[in-house]
Amino acid sequence: EVQLLESGGGLVQPGGSLRLSCAASGFTFSTYAMNWVRQAPGKGLEWVSGISGGGGSTQYADSVKGRFTISRDNSKNTLYLQMNGLGVEDTAAYYCAKFVGGRSLVDWGQGTLVTVSS
Amino acid sequence: EIVLTQSPGTLSLSPGERATLSCRASQSVSSSYLVWYQQKPGQAPRLLIYGASSRATGIPDRFSGSGSGTDFTLTISRLEPEDFAMYYCQQYGSSPQTFGQGTKVEIK
């Protein structure tokens, strides 16, 4: 059974940093691209970032480019999102999701909440 | 960036009725890269339909998808109580991948 467990969310002041983690199990982690998707309170889904299975290719939404960094440690089956320069507009639940070619985001974690507030 | 516009914003229906949800793209999307998700309050999204018309594993056959180009449709043939939720379309054929703003299917 695929399991994705996010952690690292919390309350941070504007301008601060957080690192989110997503621990994966139940599948061969290194063979799948992974993504981060966020959802502001009461709002819709917004794709944030994606990374290839080997980690050599990354993509970012314009809204986070230059501030967020996606990475992965395939030896630890863990996906990361380093978030710097956080603003109130980054307040959201952050989900990690496994990408399957031809199917998009098949498996999702339960999300971790990031609140940016002074 | 491809903008996906979903309509209506809210659909008020009774159990047993048919639901028709629309997703319109600002430019053509390959059917292969158009998917639909269902999301219930407090839960992560769940993949319903991929490739515009193929049901994901475990999805009941009352859910169906259709469309091509810029117009796509999700149909729920007979609403069950557990189907009242938010529904999102997504395209991932053009970078950046984008989501529609969602359609809420609520109990009338």
Distance from C-alpha of A109 to C-alpha of A22, rounded to nearest angstrom:
8
E strands, chain A, are 3-7, 10-12, 18-25, 34-39, 45-51, 58-60, 68-73, 78-83, 92-100, 104-108, 112-116
Please give the Cα distance from B10 to A109 (Å, whole number).
26
Q: pLDDT by residue (tens digit) across B32-60? A: 999 999 999 999 999 999 999 999 999 99
The reply to whether residue B47 touches residue A106, judged by beta carbons under 8 angstroms, is yes
CA distances from B15 to A58, A61, B69, B94, B107 (A): 43, 38, 31, 36, 7
| Per-residue confidence (pLDDT) for residue A111, from 0 to 100 | 97
pLDDT tens-digit series, residues A5-21:
999 999 999 999 999 99
Low-confidence stretches of chain B (pLDDT < 70) are none
Cβ contact A104–B95 (<8 Å): no
- Asked whether the beta carbons of B48 and A106 are under 8 A apart, the reply is no
| Closest partner CB to B102 (pick from A44, A108, A109) | A44
Inform me whether the C-beta atom of residue A95 falls under 8 Å from chain B C-beta atoms. Answer: yes
Which one of B7, B32, B47, B98 would you mutate to disrupt binding with A, by most A Cβ within 10 Å of its Cβ? B47
Considering Cα of B23, then A93, then B49, then B95, what sign does the dihedral take?
positive
Query: Considering only residues 11 to 70 of chain A, which have any Cβ-Cβ distance to chain B shorter than 8 Å?
Result: 37, 44-47, 50, 59, 61-62
Share of chain A above pLDDT 70, in %: 100
C-alpha triplet A7, B41, B100: angle, nearest 5°: 90
Distance of alpha carbon A95 from alpha carbon B7, whole angstroms: 25
In the structure encoding, which two tokens stand for residue A27, read together?
Answer: 């599948």
Q: Residue B67: which residues within 8 A CB-CB, separation 6 or more?
A: B23, B31, B34, B52, B53, B73
Average pLDDT over residues A52-74: 97
Distance separating alpha carbons of residues B28 and B94, to the nearest angstrom:
10
What is the rounded radius of gyration, in angstroms, for the C-alpha atoms of chain A?
13
**Partner A, chain B 50-89, Cβ-Cβ below 8 Å:** 50-51, 56, 88
Q: What is the dihedral of CA A11, A15, A21, A22, to 10 degrees?
A: 80
Beta-bridge mates of residue A89:
none
Q: Quick one: pLDDT at residue B2?
A: 96
Q: For residues B65 and B52, what is the distance between their CA atoms, to the nearest angstrom?
A: 6
Write out chain A residues lying below 8 Å of B47, CB-based.
Answer: 103-106
